[in-house]
Amino acid sequence: MVKNKWKIGFFILLGLMTAAVLVIWILISLPAEESKLEPDRTSEVDDVAFHVSTNKRDLNRVINHYLEEEVKNSQFDYQVLLTDEVELYGTLPIFSQELELRLTFEPQALKNGDLILKQRSISVGRLNLPVSTVLKFVRDSYHLPEAVNIQPKEERVYVSMQRLKLKSDIKVQVNEFDLKKDNIKFTLLVPAD
C-alpha cells in the first residue's frame, strides 16, 4: 500500500507539472490581447490644433515673406511692420510717379479667429488723407489676397484668417493680438488626414 501512495503521488505531481507546462505553453502561443481603446474617429474629420505664441519681430518676418509671395505680379508694392500698431508701407503709382504710402491700423482679434484692422491714419508722402477715400481707392485699384476685405465706410480692413491660402491646407485662427504688450497668440489648424 505504501508503494501505491508514492506511485499515486508521483503521477499526480507529474500530471500537475505537465498541466502547468501545457497552460504556460498555451498562454505564450495565444495572440496578444486586442486594445480596448477605440480609435479616435474625430481625428479623421477634425483638424489638429497647435497653439502658437510669438512676438512682433518674428511675425513681421513671416507676414512679409507671405506678402512677397502674394504680390509678385501686382503693381502695388507694400510691406507690413508691426510696432505698437500695424503699419503698412507701400508705393502708389500715380501717373508717372511712385508716391510713398503709409497706413496705420489698430488690430483686434475676433472670437471667430479673424482679425480686424481699424484704420488710424493714412498718408501719401506727408499729406494726411481721408481714410475712407484712400481705402476705397486701394480696394478698387489693387489686387489683394482673397482673405483681405477692405471696408472703406467702416474705415477698417477685415482679415478672414480662415480664407488665407496656406500650404497643406493649414488654417490660422488669431486668439490674441496685443502689439503694445507684444502678446500675439494664434492657433494653427492642421488637417489630420
Give the C-alpha separation, 60 to 66, whole Å. Answer: 10
| Class of residue 66 by CB neighbours under 10 A (exposed 0-12, middle 13-18, buried 19+) | middle
Place of cell 491700423: 105
Give the C-alpha separation, 132 to 85, whole Å. Answer: 19
Give the C-alpha separation, 176 to 124, whole Å. Answer: 30
Q: How many residues does the chain have?
A: 193
Residue 153 makes CB contacts below 8 A (sequence gap 6+) with: 132
Instruction: Report whether 56 contacts 83 (CB < 8 A).
Output: yes
Tell me the pLDDT of the chain (193 aa) as tens digits. Answer: 556 777 777 778 777 888 888 777 777 777 766 555 455 554 445 788 899 999 999 999 888 887 777 666 666 667 889 999 999 888 776 777 777 888 899 999 999 999 999 988 888 777 777 888 878 877 887 777 788 899 999 999 999 988 877 777 888 899 999 999 999 999 988 888 7
Characterize the bridge pairing of strands 115-124 and 97-109.
Answer: antiparallel
Instruction: Report whether 147 contacts 158 (CB < 8 A).
Output: no
Task: Look up the pTM and report it.
Answer: 0.67
Instruction: Report whether 105 contacts 119 (CB < 8 A).
Output: yes
C-alpha cell at 62: 513671416
What is the dihedral sign for C-alpha 100, 129, 114, 87? positive
